[in-house]
Structures are given as C-alpha cells and as structure tokens.
Amino acid sequence: MPGFDTIVVATDGSDSVSRAVAVALDLAERFDAAVHALYVVDSGEVDSSPEAVREQMRNALQERGGEAIVDVQKRADRDVTAVVREGRPANEIADYAREIDADLVATGTRGRHGENRFLIGSVAERVVRTCPVPVLTVRQLAGENGDGYGGAPV
C-alpha cells in the first residue's frame, strides 16, 4: 500500500500552523512515518531590518524557530528531527524536502504575518508551486483556538 515514509512539517510557530501540525502528526502515526520539523529564518526579514539590530533579529527568529520545533516535538508520539535553516522560506522548504527525499510537506496556509492572500499565504503558495513532492496545505478553521482542533481547549 502506498504511503508516506518521511513527512516534513514546515512550521513558523503561529497558531494558524497548529492544525497543519496536528494533521501531519496524525498522518505520521497512521503511516509510521519519520517526521522532520522545519523552521526557516526568513533572510529577507533579517536583511530588511536596520543593520544595528540585524543580529538581534536573526537571534530572535532562531529562538522562535526553536520554540516552534519544540512544540511539534512535544505533540508528536515519535522522535522528530529538528531543523532550523535560514534563507527564503519557500525555497528552503522545497530544497530540504528534496535533500531528504521527503514524501510529503505539510504546512499551514497563513503564517505568523497573517498573509491574507486570495486562497493561501504567499509562502504556502510558493511551496505548492515549487516543491518537488506533494504539499498538504491545511487551513485553520474559523474559531480555532490554536490547539489544532477548534472549539474548546482539549
């Protein structure tokens, strides 16, 4: 039976990615797949900040990435490979999926900047267009509280 052996969860630590994490971890459990949690420090965001605070910005984003990955690890029923990279998020996600021969990339549709494009956020849209493997985009449902399931806290 076809399935998934390796799943990349692209996370930015935002509430809107929480449901994507839940769905990806559920698939990993069903297919007994390896999970890689990937956070990308957006080099464009770092480079566009004032030079005097650029290193602080990079460090803050790396710290946020570590927290986002720890969240995925805490929610998983298996070991999760933690990866923090720096670059253009969509490119780094596609490159990483290619490097590890992933079977699936899971991501939310709107990140921490709350991109509100027509259907999905700009990073997710670029990942869908450029990623060499299937991409599962998961949108947050209206009224979700950030736990990935909606409604009352679990």
User: Does the structure show a pLDDT above 80 at 149?
Assistant: no
Do the Cβ atoms of 67 and 39 come closer than 8 Å? no
Instruction: Say what percent of the chain tops pLDDT 90.
Output: 70
Amino acid at the residue 136: L
User: Does the structure show a pLDDT above 90 at 147?
Assistant: no
For the chain, the domains span 6-138
The pLDDT of 25-32, averaged and rounded, is 96
Q: What is the pLDDT of residues 61-80, one digit of tens each?
A: 999 999 999 999 999 999 99
pLDDT score at 20:
93
DSSP state of 51: G
Between strands 104-108 and 135-138, the pairing is parallel
pLDDT score at 143:
57
152 compared with 106, residue with greater pLDDT: 106
pLDDT score at 122:
83
Alpha helices in 32-101 (DSSP H): 43-47, 54-75, 89-99
Q: Is 6-138 in CATH node 3.10.180.10?
A: no
Indicate the length of the chain as a whole number.
154
Range in 2-6, 52-56, 144-148 with the lowest mean pLDDT: 144-148
